[in-house]
């Protein structure tokens, strides 16, 4: 039995671990707010919500570094966090009735229709 599973040996998560998680959650909320504001701008500009929004799913760090526009939008983080943010964004979009189409973040692996060959 591992020590965290043993009721005779209570184990607490260190505060600095909670601090890291809290900072990541705060940053994710900021990223989601940014993305949803962009969606709201699209809705205002076109007078309606889009039928679907394409979100990239990153398969490798190299693809993320080469093809991501996050740096252009002042968003920092790694490719794992970018995927987690896009998953959270997808849920928020679907709550609004907007479908999400997942595309491979690397355009070299996208088919002629522009869709990623890898689906999440």
Q: What is the pTM of this model?
A: 0.75
CA distance 113 to 52: 15
**34-to-26, 73, 75, 118 alpha-carbon distances in Å:** 13, 9, 10, 26
Whole-number pLDDT of residue 111: 64
CA distance 25 to 18: 10
CA 38 to chain centre: 15
Whole-number pLDDT of residue 9: 75
CA 62 to chain centre: 17
For residue 52, the cross-strand partners are: 99
Whole-number pLDDT of residue 100: 96
User: Domain spans of the chain?
Assistant: 15-109
**pLDDT averaged per 10 residues, the chain (length 120):** 68 87 92 94 94 93 85 71 94 95 89 48
């Amino acid at each position: 039995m591992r020590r965290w599973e043993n009721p005779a040996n209570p184990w607490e998560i260190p505060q600095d671990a909670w601090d890291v998680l809290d900072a990541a959650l705060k940053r994710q909320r900021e990223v989601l707010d940014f993305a949803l504001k962009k969606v709201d701008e699209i809705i205002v500009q076109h007078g309606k919500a889009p039928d679907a929004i394409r979100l990239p799913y990153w398969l490798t760090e190299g693809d993320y570094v080469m093809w991501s526009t996050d740096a252009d939008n002042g968003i920092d983080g790694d490719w794992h966090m970018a995927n987690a943010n896009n998953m959270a964004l997808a849920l928020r979009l679907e709550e609004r009735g907007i479908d999400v189409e997942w595309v491979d973040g690397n355009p070299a692996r996208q088919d002629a229709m522009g869709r990623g060959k890898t689906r999440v």
